[in-house]
Structure 1
């Protein structure tokens, strides 16, 4: 039960977990996330949606949306951990929230392209992808 945790900085949850927590199989995911964000008093809530990408809710009214970047999904286990690691560091370092979600989503995409934890997120590959994406 996620609702027992209060006053957290950033919650990262996938859409299936969110729907289970809110006990709603259907309905607007962004509205569910906003309700949960209020219930637990989180600064940020990020919902991952597989190949559809992810969105981040902050204190603004509109969510920040980032598409999925994975081109070849081998194993999705650990992709949320990769997203958590990069997103939390970026937000803590006061990076722009859109940029933070973008970098974290690229790391998650890199993570799903190998089996399990066989290859960690590569800083060089991540920087190269960011560089190519911004050209």
Structure 2
């Protein structure tokens, strides 16, 4: 949300938290001033915390998730659904980063998909949800951004060319735009309105930490596409944002407009 807030007049984040005060204070203190949080609370689960253990070169040794499976929201999430049904259509762009940690339910997905003006979605695979979490839980999206393993998992297709896999998923979700990020191989963006495919190479020359690069690409590409910017330009801007993000350790700071504009101008 801090990425978006740097380029939008205002932004709203909707998420679920545990009841421990220190985590909520930390989260709120690190949100940009123009972000309006809508937090809802789990009855029996903590705020999800991901801890990475790295060596002196920042190479990941292992990671630990502090969470609880099958966590339940207060009022069974009805307040969230009601808020989404009433408000989600007021936003120019809705960006869903679905980490598969139990907050987003099928009941929430319904108003998100039904009422969003422009809906961008990523369903992340991680060690806590591998094999059980895929983009196919969403009936539609205007823009989908996945990495290659996420796309192949959703189609159970290991060997076909990734563009073929992406086209099948885009058709299933009726997506106007579909991106597959491939790390050092760059990104493929399908424009299903124009019937064109755009390939952007990896733009990063210095990599400190890959965590968050996909989120940066999703955020900036979605903002561009949602406002009608050409697909080729949107893919380039998203890739530039990702290239900047891999130079930032552990999402310590968001991509700011000055750095992005300077990067795009070089």
What TM-score do the two structures reach when normalised by structure 1? 0.91
Partner of 1:88: 222
Q: Is the 8 A contact 1:83 1:105 kept in 2?
A: yes
Q: Is the 8 A contact 1:12 1:84 kept in 2?
A: yes
Higher helix fraction (1 or 2): 1
Query: d(CA) in 2 for partners of 1:89 and 1:61?
Result: 21
State the aligned residue count: 132
2:212 aligns with one of 68, 71, 78 = 78
Query: d(CA) in 2 for partners of 1:41 and 1:94?
Result: 18
Query: d(CA) in 2 for partners of 1:81 and 1:93?
Result: 18
Partner of 2:64: none
1:27 aligns with one of 160, 167, 170 = 160
Partner of 1:127: 261
Looking at CA atoms only, which structure, 1 or 2, has the larger radius of gyration?
2
| Runs of 4 or more above 6 Å deviation | none
- 2:181 is the alignment partner of 1:55: no
Compare relative contact order (CA 8 Å, sep 6+) and give the higher one, 1 or 2: 1
What TM-score do the two structures reach when normalised by structure 2? 0.48
Q: Which runs of 5+ in 1 are unaligned?
A: none
- 2:148 is the alignment partner of 1:15: yes
Q: Is the 8 A contact 1:6 1:42 kept in 2?
A: no
Partner of 2:177: 44
1:27-81 Cα offsets, whole Å, 9 max, x none, are 2000000001111111111100001111111223331111111111111111111
Query: d(CA) in 2 for partners of 1:25 and 1:128?
Result: 39
Query: d(CA) in 2 for partners of 1:92 and 1:24?
Result: 29
